[in-house]
Amino acid sequence: MSIAAYKQTMAECEDPRRIEYLVFLRITLAIEEHREAGWRSDALKSALWRNLELWNILRADLVDDDNALPEGLRAGLISLSFSVERQTRMVLRGEADAGVLIDINRSVMRGLQGVAQAEAPVAMEAAYGA
């Protein structure tokens, strides 16, 4: 099966927002599970790197001209992605706790579920100083 056919099948089978939610959920649960082990834990490092990879992919999608999200939401999420990057570096150096990353991911997950207002990522970005 070609990549295009696979993508088409996924688009027909499941809501993309649901898929994004599940990816955020899996990574966030891994961070939560290994958070207490501390910044030297290989399992936490792995979860943090997967989270950073997710946010980098998200950022690449957000800067694409074909992205259909409103400009303000895109800008807020892009800014938030840089905050995630900075916070991740701090956690990996043992200078911060992973709780902020968990909070950010949970906020995005609520937005993907339609619980939070569309501006929630912008509010999170302001709260965590992007």
pLDDT digit string (tens) for 48-83? 999 999 999 999 999 999 999 999 999 999 999 999
5 domain-assigned: no
Residue found by looking up tokens 């399992």 in the block: 43
CB 31 within 8 A of CB 51: yes
Q: What is the pLDDT of residue 17?
A: 85
AA letter at 44: L
The pTM of the full predicted model, rounded to 2 decimals, is: 0.77
pLDDT tier at 117, thresholds 50, 70, 90: very low
pLDDT tier at 2, thresholds 50, 70, 90: low
Q: What is the pLDDT of residue 116?
A: 46
35 domain-assigned: yes
CA-nearest of 70, 95, 86 to 129 is 86
Which run of H or E residues covers position 39?
Answer: none
Residue found by looking up tokens 């970005």 in the block: 125
45 domain-assigned: yes
2 domain-assigned: no
9 domain-assigned: no
3 domain-assigned: no
76 domain-assigned: yes
Q: Which domain does 87 fall in, by range? A: 15-127
AA letter at 7: K
The total of structural domains in the chain comes to 1
CB 125 within 8 A of CB 59: no
CA-nearest of 24, 32, 8, 18 to 97 is 32
